[in-house]
Amino acid sequence: MTTPVLEWAFRSRPIDGAEVSGDRALVHVEGRSAVAAAIDGLGHGPEAAVAAERAAGAIAGRAEADVAVLVARCHEVLARTRGAALSVASLDGSADLMKWLGVGNVEGRVVRASNRHAAAESLLLTPGVVGHELPRLHTSSTRLQRGDLLLLATDGVDPGFADALDTSGSCAAIADRVIERHGRTSDDALVLVVRYLGGRP
């Protein structure tokens, strides 16, 4: 998908032998604001998928909300589920600013368009399970420039997925390569790729 602010795509596949994945991705854009999230329902199968869907529903339609508020909302709606790991990013196109946080093991990376050979910036993850053990939430922020890439990946993707990342082509092409090269068949796997296009009019 492409808007004036973002281009994005995700790819996912379930653990070998399963038909349903417990991983979900979400992007919602309102004007020059956007929210992006990757969610990993605890475990595998339909119950993990239910948890991930509920978390996605708690985030959907709230592009301007604070990321800590969104995670707290997810914690409330996941109380009677398996729970989930998730990472959420809020992008402000008016200020070229992204705020993000992660609970559990959904990795986040920013790959800069201006220096693709530099090491990717990593999201600081806090241990916990949304819906069961919510830690103190730590939001961090970073400036964005046109062409910068945000990648969120569940633990079915090897954490080294952003090392020497080939950033050529569309977000869909990048997501395909990440899953093909770094996706593990022993777990549900998902990667969300977002390219910042600049939000200032």
Residue 199's pLDDT is 57
39 SS3 class: strand
Residue 4's pLDDT is 82
Task: Count Cβ atoms below 10 Å from residue 166 Cβ, excluding itself.
Answer: 11
Burial of 80 (0-12, 13-18, 19+ CB in 10 A): exposed
Query: One-letter amino acid identity for 13?
Result: R
The residue ranges of the chain whose pLDDT is under 50 are: none
CATH annotation of 6-196: 3.60.40.10
Of the candidates 155, 110, 105, the residue with the CA atom closest to the CA atom of residue 126? 105
- Residues 141-154 have pLDDT tens digits of 999 999 999 999 99
> d(Cα 120, Cα 111) in Å, to the nearest integer?
5
Helices (H), 60-128: 67-77
Tokens of 18: 């399963």
- Residues 151-184 have pLDDT tens digits of 999 999 999 999 989 999 999 999 999 999 999 9
Residue 64's pLDDT is 72
> d(Cα 56, Cα 74) in Å, to the nearest integer?
8
**pTM of the shown model:** 0.94
Residue 98's pLDDT is 96
Sign of CA dihedral 36, 110, 13, 132: negative
The distance between the two most distant Cα atoms of the chain, rounded to a whole number of Å, is: 48
